[in-house]
Amino acid sequence: MTSGTLDKDTAHGNRVYWTTWGILLLLTLVMVVLDASPLPRVALVLCMLAAMLMKVSFIGLNFMHLRAERLSLVLVVVIGLLVTGSFLYMLILPDAYRILEMNGGG
Amino acid sequence: MSNGVTETAGSVSMPVLGRWDGGSCPFDTGWRKLMMWVFIVGDGLIFAGFLAAFGFARAMTAEWPDQSQVFHLSLIAFMTFVLISSSATMASAVGCARDGDLAGASKWVFLTLLGGALFLGIQAYEWTTLIGEGARLNHNPWGVPLFGAYFFLITGFHGFHVLTGVIVLATLAWRMSRGVATSGGVELAGLYWHFIDLVWVFVFTCFYLL
């Protein structure tokens, strides 16, 4: 690789990192503003979860370079973390609401 | 044995291994980086367990303390800014190291180290303030005992990871100053640091905002 190409690659890489940084800050700002807004609870939760997943995706793809990894590794990481975590949450959450109802708080 | 596979007592020939070694390089990555990913997935699942348990406690409790009354959200948002910025500087360090510019990488690693130390300092201030207001593991002034327990458990476990990351980065900076660090080592430290940032995204959203 020539030094000119190397410089171009480095500049491109740094641009991706700092663009990602800007997007992450913007999303964080949006989340903080939304938190203070009078949105209905369900809409607020959905917006927050969407923003959270977008932030996580940007970190994984651009900072952790999952974009450049083989699909098999990406699938192991994404399925291992996101899907397992979601299942864990979905399996135990109904029981929490049952306990809340039993205690007369539902 | 059929299919040309030979197996003798005490030794196994290559064809047998060939069927069980998972193919050739299925992830196309070195073992150190692969082990870091395995660690990240495993550690991430521990955090997922904590956050799921927190969600369970939150959902089964009728009155959960209002976070805006307990925390200074502007301070937490600033902590998030610091961690995101340190992640960007770490990514730049990895980029420089990949291109063979270890002097440039060293500068970015140092900035990341400062970011991590600042984050820990603000967290120490937050903990001190809340403990001063009466927050403990088993009780707190806001009514729900589990609130304090989960606060100290989740932010404490994350803070422990940040502290570990700061130690890793300090070691890396020291190795870079001696000229013995490799670009692979910078990349591994970077993966760990971005994982800390990634977990904070979940903690910030689930614990401080929702």
- Position B187: which residue type? E
φ/ψ (deg, to 5) at B9: -60, 125
| Contact call for residues A81 and B41 (beta carbons, < 8 A) | yes
pLDDT digits (tens, 9 = 90+) for A34-85: 988 998 989 999 999 999 999 999 999 999 999 998 898 999 899 888 888 8
* Assigned domain for B25 exists: no
* Assigned domain for B9 exists: no
Range of the domain at B188: 30-209
Q: Which residues of chain B are within 8 Å of residue A96 when distances are taken between CB atoms? A: 55-60
* Assigned domain for B14 exists: no
Q: Which residue has the tokens 């973390």?
A: A81
A21: β partners: none
pLDDT of residue B4: 42
Q: Is the pLDDT of residue A6 over 80?
A: no
- Position B15: which residue type? P
pLDDT digits (tens, 9 = 90+) for A26-45: 999 999 999 889 989 899 99
- What is the token pair recorded at A55? 């932030």
* Assigned domain for B53 exists: yes
B180: β partners: none
pLDDT digits (tens, 9 = 90+) for B13-22: 555 555 566 6
pLDDT of residue B162: 98
Chain A nearest C-alpha distance from B30 (Å): 12
- Closest alpha carbon within chain B to A92: B56
HSE on the CB side for A84, CA within 13 Å? 16
Q: Which residues of chain A are within 8 Å of residue B102 when distances are taken between CB atoms? A: none
* Closest by Cβ to B73, choosing from A29, A32, A95: A32
- Inter-chain touch B84–A81, beta carbons under 8 Å: no
- Measured over the CA atoms of residue B16, residue B17, residue B19 and residue B20, the dihedral's sign is positive
- Position B25: which residue type? C
Q: Which residues of chain B have pLDDT under 50?
A: 1-10
* Assigned domain for B54 exists: yes
CATH code at B43? Answer: 1.20.120.80
* Assigned domain for B24 exists: no
Question: Residue A57: which residues within 8 A CB-CB, separation 6 or more?
Answer: none
* Assigned domain for B174 exists: yes
Distance CA B134, CA A1 (A): 61
Which residue, among A19, A20, A55, would best test binding to B if mutated, counting the most B CBs under 10 Å from its CB? A55
Q: What is chain A's alpha carbon radius of gyration, rounded to the nearest angstrom?
A: 20
pLDDT of residue B6: 45
Tally: H helices and E strands in chain B: 7, 2
Alpha carbon of residue B178 to chain centroid: 27
- Domains identified in chain B, total number: 1
Chain B nearest C-alpha distance from A38 (Å): 13
- Inter-chain touch A96–B57, beta carbons under 8 Å: yes
Q: What is the DSSP letter of A79?
A: I
- Inter-chain touch B81–A51, beta carbons under 8 Å: no
Domain ranges of chain A: 1-66, 69-106
> pLDDT averaged over chain B?
88
φ/ψ (deg, to 5) at B11: -145, 145
Tell me how crowded residue B163 is: count the other CB atoms within 10 A of its CB.
Answer: 15
